[in-house]
Amino acid sequence: MRPAQLAAAALAVLLLSSCSSLPPSSPAATPPATGGGTASQPATASAPATQADPSGTAVEFAAAGDFGDGQAAAEVLDAMAGSKAQFGLALGDLSYGSPGKESAWCSFVADHLGPDIPLQLLSGNHESDGRNGSIDAFAACLPPRLPGAHGVYGRQWFVDLPQRDPVLRLIMISPGLDFADSGRWDYVPGNEHYDWTATAIDSARDAGIPWVVVASHLPCQTMGRYDCEPGPAVTNLLLDRKVDLVLHGHEHLYQRTHQLSLGPGCPSLLPAHSAAACIADTDSDFVSGSGTVFATVGTGGRPLRDVNASDVEARYFAAYSGKNEDPTHGFLKIRVTGDALRAEFVRAGGGNFADSFTLHRR
């Protein structure tokens, strides 16, 4: 076994050991129920032997959020299936349906994706608080199928891909979401969620995994209708650690930034503000380690919303599409090898919007 593999294995054991020793309120343990009723419990990420394992030196996956169960969502899922991605990544806000009907949406997904492309879940605000179903129920009918996942599936988990000689660590987090059984999950310096995220990133770097991609339902910088709902602290953590790519949903549009970076002229990225010094590169052909690209892909099927091109944060964005700007449903297809991370927006219906970008290893 190579030194990088030994380091990765040791760090995984360390993280799992620390998870098992944490109190029930820890993000790596099952969050306790609160209030007078009985809350369903989230499934801990695991991987039965029959589940899919992305193999080879390349990892390819499709990411989108904000689906529903209408014609546009069906077209997006059909396009994912046709893309031959190894798996799909749901960036939150799943069915928009009634509580208790989660299995119907899971069947809808399976009918369009087929048995060979699992959709792996991250909660959005519509299922974290139970208004449109429970993330735990969705996780039960679309369970974890990527071997070696650690954490609480659907809420906060990570996985290294492929399992042997990984080129990618994919980290899923839930800053700013209110969970029905455990309240709001804040990610601020010194708390358990923030520390879990920092450890997941740092241990990937220490293990020599080339690429780190983080997914979080709520964006901070945006040209849509929302404010910085997750809070700026976690966004600045991701920038400080030079995470390569961050994926979001929530806003029903597509928006992708330039490569952003902290530095002497940009000590932090502030909400409702922009600074030229925070932009590291603008040509869509980036070098890893120079900064972070943020992509919101809320184009999974729900009706699209307007993009505000006059927003003060608009200078951070290189490409965007919404109801008033070439409205197009689709997903971001991401291909990761040891040398490069390539991403392309794949159209599923509507307009003809296109976007692509590449990060290269130094």
The reported pLDDT for the residue numbered 44 is 53
Q: From the CB of residue 115, how many other CB atoms can be counted at a distance below 10 Å?
A: 7
The reported pLDDT for the residue numbered 4 is 42
Q: From the CB of residue 10, how many other CB atoms can be counted at a distance below 10 Å?
A: 13
* pLDDT (tens place) for every residue of the chain, 362 residues total: 444 443 444 444 333 333 333 223 333 333 333 222 323 334 455 444 334 444 458 999 999 999 999 999 999 999 999 998 999 999 999 999 999 999 999 999 999 999 999 999 999 999 999 999 999 999 999 999 999 999 999 999 999 999 999 999 999 999 999 999 999 999 999 999 999 999 999 999 999 999 999 999 999 999 999 999 999 999 999 999 999 999 999 999 999 999 999 999 999 999 999 999 999 999 999 999 999 999 999 999 999 999 999 999 999 999 999 999 999 999 999 999 999 999 999 999 999 999 999 999 98
Structurally, the chain folds into a number of domains equal to: 1
Q: Which residues span the domain enclosing 92?
A: 3-24+42-360
The DSSP annotation for 114-143 comes to -TTSPEEEB--HHHHSSBTB-HHHHHHHS-
The DSSP annotation for 25-39 comes to TSTTSPPPP-SSS--
Inside any domain, residue 317: yes
What are the respective helix, strand and coil percentages of the chain, to the nearest 5? 25, 25, 50
Inside any domain, residue 35: no
Inter-residue contact 322 to 253 (CB < 8 Å): yes
The candidate with the shortest Cα–Cα distance to 232, out of 267, 195, 269, is 269
Separation CA 327–CA 299 (nearest Å) = 9
Q: From the CB of residue 184, how many other CB atoms can be counted at a distance below 10 Å?
A: 12
Inter-residue contact 188 to 196 (CB < 8 Å): no
Inside any domain, residue 36: no
The reported pLDDT for the residue numbered 27 is 35
Inside any domain, residue 37: no
Domain containing residue 220: CATH number: 3.60.21.10
Inside any domain, residue 128: yes
Inside any domain, residue 231: yes
Measured on CA atoms in the order 301, 306, 312, 315, is the torsion positive or negative?
Answer: positive
